[in-house]
Structure 1
């Protein structure tokens, strides 16, 4: 369906994966440049071992699930495979919703302990709840939490292997950088 299937097997086992880091010390999204701490919604991290494509140490970091996957797809296009990809696990936090201009936004969480491997998350996609880039992938480590979120806020459930460029392009916020 998409190119995620090409790198899904390359993420390695849990013992080989680097641990997620805290994103509380500031920084900009490595895909779109937005300041992480200034925006709501899911945050992401992608590790590339010695092939870190960015100028900073550690993983590439992102303001949204959408930016995370778009970046990973772009890196895959140039032959770089991630060793780990993490997104906010909304089953691991007490999230809140806020309203801005009539739209609902989900809270951001930046500490290392709130990130889970994308392989362990069920994603609510196309809900009426927004993140930094508008409609986004909202990940839950507990599938029942994801189902309850979709029941309340709409959208559909997807697994990591189902995320593709085509799926991302269906979101209103898809930006071609």
Structure 2
């Protein structure tokens, strides 16, 4: 008698899981209206993989210029809504780095990520490069370095720590700016 009861419970649990998966929102095509959540810039103007985060109770997803930014968003405690699903560009099916694709989305938790590669994301920061195929991710590491890992194994320090950019400013630029301000002030006074 216990076996039929266990079988019934297992069937009900499986049905509940299928219902939960069926209610996940579908990925949205990235078009000219898609702007990055943090930068508010058009995503089509930036190379590299992108991400979209769907929030419970929200009609439209948040788009991110870099996958790294979406993972950072996921790991920060400040969200006002629960995350329903995160989709990332599948670079196994992207045309190339400049055009990662508009409809080749995969759930973030199913991707194989290349971390530590020598190529920057759309906003110039280090990127987490997602692939549906572990073989494609490994091939990418042979060309760009890095290592392959899964979402849960990406260290927080890779997504939450500040990024150090090279300083391209020079003292000469600062001096020139100060001089132009002084000249402008003199012109206004006299």
TM-score, with structure 1 as normaliser? 0.72
Greater strand proportion: 1
Q: 1:151 to 1:127 in 2, by over 3 A?
A: same
**Structure 1 residues without counterparts, runs of 5 or longer:** 1-11, 96-105
CA displacement 1:30-75 (0-9 Å, x = unmatched)? 123232111111111010120x3xxxx411111111111122223x
Number of residue pairs the alignment of both structures matches: 146
Using the alignment, how far apart are the partners of 1:166 and 1:47 within structure 2? Answer: 24
For residue 63 of structure 1, the aligned residue among 55, 62, 65 is 65
Distance 1:170 1:124, change over 3 A: farther
| Greater share of helix | 2
CA–CA distance in 2 between the matches of 1:88 and 1:61? 11
Distance 1:93 1:171, change over 3 A: farther
Gaps of 5+ in 2: 1-18, 166-190
The two structures, once aligned, show a CA RMSD in angstroms of 2.3
Preserved CA contact (<8 Å) 1:31 1:68: no
Of structures 1 and 2, the one with the larger relative CO (CA 8 A, separation 6+) is 1
* Alpha-carbon distance in 2 for matches of 1:173, 1:157: 23
* TM-score normalized with structure 2 length: 0.68
Runs of 4+ in 1 over 3 A off after TM superposition: 76-80, 169-174
